[in-house]
Amino acid sequence: MSRLLARDTLTGLIAIAIACLALWFGRALPVGDASFMEAGYMPRLLAALVIGLGAIVVIRGILANGPRMESSVWRPILLLCLAVVVFGALVGRAGLVLTTVAVTLVTSLAGEWLGARRFAGLLAAMVVMMVGLFHFGLALPIPLWPVLR
């Protein structure tokens, strides 16, 4: 049982799970073939490569009997996944600025507390970079502030 809880084994299983999710969400995309690639070709190819690499890592983890995954590792992983969900849920409704504030708050909980002054600096820098990149640099049609309907 300890080999199944080895760090490499769990890492490989997480990679395989993420690649399977990519295959699931991209299942409706047309694939095409190598001479005429359509929208689903590269996501499926990359997902297959990640599944293969994940399987290699799982096998190495089982055979090598490496160190176990520490319980303190799960909190940052889950909070970073939550930050992605928060971004997807808020960006269309709350706007880019408030979404950046929420995501920065969630991700800051994944590590040691920075202190109020350093967190405020990080927050200001993140808002400036996100607005500069997505609104001005890439000109994406993401509202800056909440959309009132």
pLDDT at 68: 67
The predicted model scores a pTM of 0.60
Residues 102/91, Cβ–Cβ less than 8 Å: no
Q: What is the pLDDT of residues 91-115, one digit of tens each?
A: 888 989 999 999 999 999 888 888 8
pLDDT at 149 over 70: no
Mean pLDDT of the chain: 86
Query: Which amino acid belongs to residue 132?
Result: G
CA dihedral 87, 89, 95, 99 (to 10 degrees): -30
d(CA 139, CA 23): 30
More confident residue, 130 or 92: 130
Least confidently predicted of 50-64, 66-80, 115-129: 66-80
